[in-house]
Structure 1
Amino acid sequence: MDIHVINSDWRAEAPDLMGFITAKLKQSTEGMPYVFADAYATDGLLEILEVRVARGERGILVMDCSRAQVQAVLEWGTCHDDGLLHDLEIFLVRRADQRPTTLV
């Protein structure tokens, strides 16, 4: 299992990151190989990843992950990589930090 974490500044570096990574991923007959993490709590994201892996997806792009979601997926990957998922590739795109700006 390979898990790649992409920083939140990807839009400046590769505006079509989603298209680029999607083209690299093995297409599933079930639909597009991406998940929008902001639609899930951390546990829900892990559940949807498990469902997608169980139905045979081997390449998944997860957009807008929080730090907690990234950490949870990394931990999930180390706990569940028993050789059966050696061909699984997950790309986690971190959500842009939403730090408040200071007005001067």
Structure 2
Amino acid sequence: MDIHVINSDWKAEAPDLMGFVTARLKPCTEGTPYVFADAYAAEGLLEILEVRVARGERGILVMDCSRAQVQAVLEWGTCDDDGQLQDLEIFLVRRADQRPTNPA
């Protein structure tokens, strides 16, 4: 499993992040591979990701993740003991207000 965490300031770095990420996602048979994280708590996000994976999706873009959601998905990603998720790729786009600040 590959998990990519993308800072929310992507608009300044890559104006078409959605297009870039979507092009990298593996085609899925049902629906779009987007999840809007603000609709879920951390545990709920993990549940919806598990549902998507069970449907056969192998590339998922998760928009507007909180710090807790990113951490939960990263921890979930380390629990794949049997290798069933090795071809899964998840892109987590963090919320703007969740970016770490650099003390000067």
**TM (normalized to structure 2)?**
0.89
- Tell me which residue corresponds to 2:68: 68
The more displaced of 80-89 and 67-76 is 80-89
Give the greater-gyration-radius structure (CA): 1
Letter in 2 for 1:11: K
Q: What's the CA shift for 1:81?
A: 4.7
- Runs of 4+ aligned residues of structure 1 deviating over 4 Å after TM superposition are none
- Tell me which residue corresponds to 1:10: 10
Residue 88 to residue 98, structure 1, CA distance change in 2 (3 Å): closer
- Tell me which residue corresponds to 2:54: 54
Q: Find out whether 1:84 has 2:84 as its counterpart.
A: yes
Unaligned runs of 5+ in 2: 100-104
Unaligned runs of 5+ in 1: 100-104
- Tell me which residue corresponds to 1:37: 37
RMSD: 1.5
The more displaced of 38-47 and 79-88 is 79-88
Residue 74 to residue 31, structure 1, CA distance change in 2 (3 Å): same
- Percent identical pairs in the alignment equals 89
Question: Secondary structure of the equivalent of 1:90?
Answer: strand
- Tell me which residue corresponds to 1:24: 24
Tell me how many residue pairs correspond in the alignment: 99
Give the distance between the partners of 2:82 and 2:3, measured in 1 at CA: 15
**TM (normalized to structure 1)?**
0.89
